[in-house]
Chains A and B, each alone.
Chain A
């Protein structure tokens, strides 16, 4: 349905029934903002007009719109911002501005009311296999906030787009439901607010509760720091209950699964698990390439495909670093004002690539044996004690998988084993990994120690 045309037709009808003066005073700058479930939202410039349209012309408007648009059920009035014509800057001022310097005022970008950054939208969110579950859950939440997946808990490593996803949900809900109050906050700010409220005395402690319970959607970012804060946990628990009871959506993000957040109270843990817990993992090569392409499009810049492929293949995992590298390249591109060659990009990126640590076989053995609480020497021994065998197999697997050491060399270094033994161990662990999540977790933990 073309709302513009509909409103134009209605205005023609409405104009007939009243004086020109009345019409131009009350109907100038009005428009249909949107239509939702048969409700027509008419945008008006201010409260005076809204009051008057509602009191005086509501019947007329409803009737006219109903005649023109059959599935209309009701008409509502919303106050909208009128766009002033910004291009028409008065010329007179020019000389004046040249002499008088302006204060370096920058527009506040983040909305103070809800802390949301309008830059984070679903449109700019790239979906790949690494985050599609989180994305589709987010879409469901926007569809029916508070009903589907409440609470929604997102976890994943740094720079993988958790904050982007959270803020995109907030922005989408704000856009879709004009009456819903959204609030985004980091745990740190939440805790500081709480402490301040205690300092201010009894009166303010209630103000804190009221402040955080009045929203329809509360987003708390970086919740992993809650571990040591017992009182904050308690307040969060109560706030959480209020939201949940009233079917209001609440969303958390963390860099770990709630089970691994140290010193998290059980009652909170179980509540987090009550809704939906999803992880965002690291993007694969294809996703990284897609992200780069979208970012370039935003900046309106074209780069050679092989440069993009190079960047995508060298920067692993972290999207934030990926963006950082791309920005460096774009900056150079703008500076030089010509396309860059692959060689130039390689020199540029030198600093951005994390140097791979030189890990010796001995280091691997040490880390693994430490992890399993074994004596380092026992790995090299010819023993078939179960716990040692397992640790030795893990060492072999890691050496082969992560460090590309040849089978014979592994065998030789680990107490003169045959290379077939090594192959067997490698394959065994590889197979076990497929259906043993605990082993996977162990290996992940060990791997982080090499980084």
Chain B
């Protein structure tokens, strides 16, 4: 192999693929990045057997070839090369020689024959604005369950409903749902993307602008742009029927400024117990919206908030963390909280935009 390419391009590609190499796996070859030079492109491939990625960059290829090189070494090396010029790579025996204007590097290669292939997905295909799909995933994925016991809920569930692409995740204590309008949407009966793969997917496509192609079948989903192909395993399971627990009406409603509530929650948290318990006391008739928390070792705190209140009086307690989590998905200044009974879930959403819904289960007192 003998090639020449721009440093900036290969650097970005290496840093992205390196994240997806297999770490502490039984098969050492998975910690490598596979470099394939053919035609007019250099392809970099990595996989951890749950995710697979392939990035293609233009390169001047004098001699075609394939090598596998340790991912961590490559990324460590490239993150410290700061020149912005071209770089040349060529193989000599079982070594990869890398030359820039100011440095010469010799890297040991691994045998590339054992490097696995990355599955190509053939199934339903749709083309969609990357921002939309990434925004949908980002709005809900933090609510997934982190444990592996129930794989179907340690995932982000995506399905289509009329003109919306709906993203849902839950860990059974709280639930986040985001609807995103997509024109001429195909029917999607449901895909479960493993929660563990989500940060990597967001890292690769989170900042991407323009359309990407999403294909999926029963076992696999892939996202691809012109130069990047990313594929993830999907979970074979059935997401719980969450729609039946979304409350249809509410007895009490609160509209409050997001910033005010966020500050109050953070303050109250200092005094919350080990379960992060915070209490709400809402009395629309006397116009009181009070947050309180207490901890025998620290002390206690009561905060009053200005809010628009309506409906019946109610008191309940909940885990403040669950509440704070959802603020990242609400982009408006004020949020609305709808409550039913102190034992029923409360619904948090933006006061003006109904695309995002968040359910929090209260705590037993």
Contacts and interface: CB of A to CB of B under 8 A. Distances in A.
Contact of B27 (A21, A88, A207): A21
Interface string B163-183: 000000010111100000000
Nearest to A113: B189
Given A103-B361, A112-B189, A79 B47 contact: no
Interface stretch (A44-52, A238-246, A314-322, A340-348): A44-52
Interface stretch (B76-84, B113-121, B126-134, B295-303): B113-121
Interface in B182-208: 184, 187, 189-190
B153 to A, nearest CB: 8
Contacts of A103: 170, 172-175, 242, 245, 345, 359, 361
A90 B28 CA distance: 31
A55 B113 CA distance: 12
Interface in B45-93: 47, 49-50, 52
A55 B236 CA distance: 23
B363 A99 contact: yes
A376 B271 CA distance: 89
B219 to A, nearest CB: 5
Contacts of A99: 275, 277, 363-364
B28 A21 contact: yes
A108 B244 CA distance: 11
Nearest to B159: A112
A48 B47 contact: yes
Given A105-B240, A105-B242, A52 B117 contact: yes
A437 interface: no
Contacts of A22: 27, 114
B240 A108 contact: yes
B338 interface: no
B148 interface: yes
Nearest to B28: A21
B362 interface: yes
B361 A100 contact: yes
B286 interface: no
A336 interface: no
A23 to B, nearest CB: 9
Interface in A72-95: 79, 81, 84, 86, 88-90, 93
> Which range contains the number of B residues in contact with the other chain?
35 or more
B149 A86 contact: yes
B49 A100 contact: no
Contact of A101 (B30, B52, B184, B361): B361
A338 interface: no
A108 B319 contact: no
A104 B256 CA distance: 27
A47 B238 contact: no
A215 B89 CA distance: 52
Interface in B222-254: 233, 236-242, 244-245
B125 to A, nearest CB: 14
A81 B218 CA distance: 11
B190 A112 contact: yes
Nearest to B343: A101
B308 interface: no
B267 to A, nearest CB: 22
B219 A47 contact: yes
Interface in B348-365: 359, 361-364
Interface string A321-333: 0000000000000
Contacts of A356: none
B25 interface: yes
A84 B238 contact: no
Contacts of B119: 47-48, 50-51
Contacts of A50: 119
B218 A104 contact: no
A102 B361 contact: yes
B224 to A, nearest CB: 16
Contact of B241 (A24, A107, A113): A107
Contacts of A105: 170, 172, 240-242, 245
A81 B236 contact: yes
A48 B275 contact: no
A79 B26 CA distance: 21
A235 B26 CA distance: 56
Contacts of B175: 103
B151 interface: yes
B2 to A, nearest CB: 27
A91 B219 CA distance: 32
A113 B190 CA distance: 9
B160 to A, nearest CB: 12
Given A79-B219, A112-B238, A100 B117 contact: no
Nearest to B147: A90
A96 interface: yes
B173 A102 contact: yes
A98 B361 CA distance: 12
Contacts of A21: 26-28
B268 interface: no
B220 interface: yes
Which of A21, A86, A99, A211 gathers the greatest number of chain B CB atoms within 10 Å?
A: A99
24 contacts: A22-B27, A46-B50, A46-B219, A46-B220, A47-B233, A48-B49, A48-B52, A48-B118, A48-B233, A51-B116, A51-B118, A84-B148, A99-B275, A100-B363, A100-B364, A101-B362, A102-B172, A102-B361, A103-B170, A103-B175, A103-B361, A104-B245, A105-B172, A108-B241
- Ranked nearest first, the 5 interchain pairs of A and B with the lowest CB-CB distance are A105-B240, A25-B27, A47-B119, A108-B241, A47-B220
Interface of A: 20-22, 24-25, 46-52, 55-56, 79, 81, 84, 86, 88-90, 93, 96, 98-108, 111-113, 203, 207, 211
Given A81-B237, A105-B240, 18 more contacts: A46-B220, A48-B118, A50-B119, A51-B116, A51-B119, A52-B116, A79-B236, A90-B147, A99-B277, A99-B364, A100-B364, A103-B172, A103-B361, A105-B245, A108-B238, A108-B241, A113-B189, A211-B187
